Amino acid sequence: MKPAWDKLMKEYDGHKTALIADVDCTAEGKPLCDSNGVQGFPTIKYGDPSALEDYQGGRDLDAMKKFAAENLKPMCSPKNIDLCDDDKKKEIEKFQTMSSEDLEKQIKEKEDLLSEAEETFKAEVQKLQDKYQSLMKEKEEKMQEVKDAGLSLMKSVSAHAEKGGDKKQEL
């Protein structure tokens, strides 16, 4: 992915409304990554710098170029209110009239819902992983049981008989 990303950065170098960059989350960029919820590498974020979203698209150059062309442009926000439809304008106005305490409380509630969804997802995936491990162990034990019961010898005798070999040979 890195070579494709580097090419995309070169294409957007100096762009007036879009920034494509990379950040080293293990060095000086760690605080920025932490404040934007970067948990694994590589992570691609896009959108309003104060409310970045996770990119879920393809990781090849063509997919990223297509996404950038369609999505990396000024977006509806308090800074670009003229780009908002009437519903978004009303929503922004509602949030702007809230006290900072109430707004922070609502932000926290929504972030808690996201965290809860992530925790539920991780717990359910762990259950699936545990079930997978259990089923894998059962399968391997059953396979070993069948092999120990003489399956290989049965196949060998059957193949020998099909080739015209005697079923009983003197030793």
Q: What is the pLDDT of residues 88-106, one digit of tens each?
A: 999 999 999 999 999 999 9
* Structure confidence at residue 105 (pLDDT): 97
Q: What angle do CA 63, 67, 69 make, to 5 degrees?
A: 120
- In whole angstroms, how far apart are CA 113 and each of 45, 116, 127, 129, 133? 20, 5, 21, 24, 30
Q: Residue 151 is encoded by which pair of tokens? A: 């399956």
Q: Which CATH architecture has domain 2-74?
A: 3-Layer(aba) Sandwich (3.40)
- In whole angstroms, how far apart are CA 42 and each of 23, 162, 168? 10, 57, 64
Q: Which of 48, 46, 55, 53 is nearest to 92 (CA)?
A: 48
Most confident of 16-25, 52-61, 72-81, 131-140: 131-140
Is pLDDT above 60 for 18?
Answer: yes
Q: Label residue 37 by pLDDT band (50, 70, 90).
A: confident
Domain boundaries, the chain: 2-74, 135-160
113 contact partners, CB below 8 Å, separation of at least 6: none
Q: Residue 84 is encoded by which pair of tokens? A: 């908002």
Over residues 115-157, the pLDDT tens digits come to: 999 999 999 999 999 999 999 999 999 999 999 999 989 999 9
Is pLDDT above 70 for 170?
Answer: no
Most confident of 3-12, 134-143, 158-167: 134-143
* Structure confidence at residue 145 (pLDDT): 94
Q: Which of 147, 32, 82, 101 is nearest to 43 (CA)?
A: 32
Upstream peptide bond of 42 is cis (omega within 30 degrees of 0)? yes
Tokens 């762990």 found at: 126
* Helix H or strand E encompassing 46: strand 45-46
Q: Label residue 167 by pLDDT band (50, 70, 90).
A: low
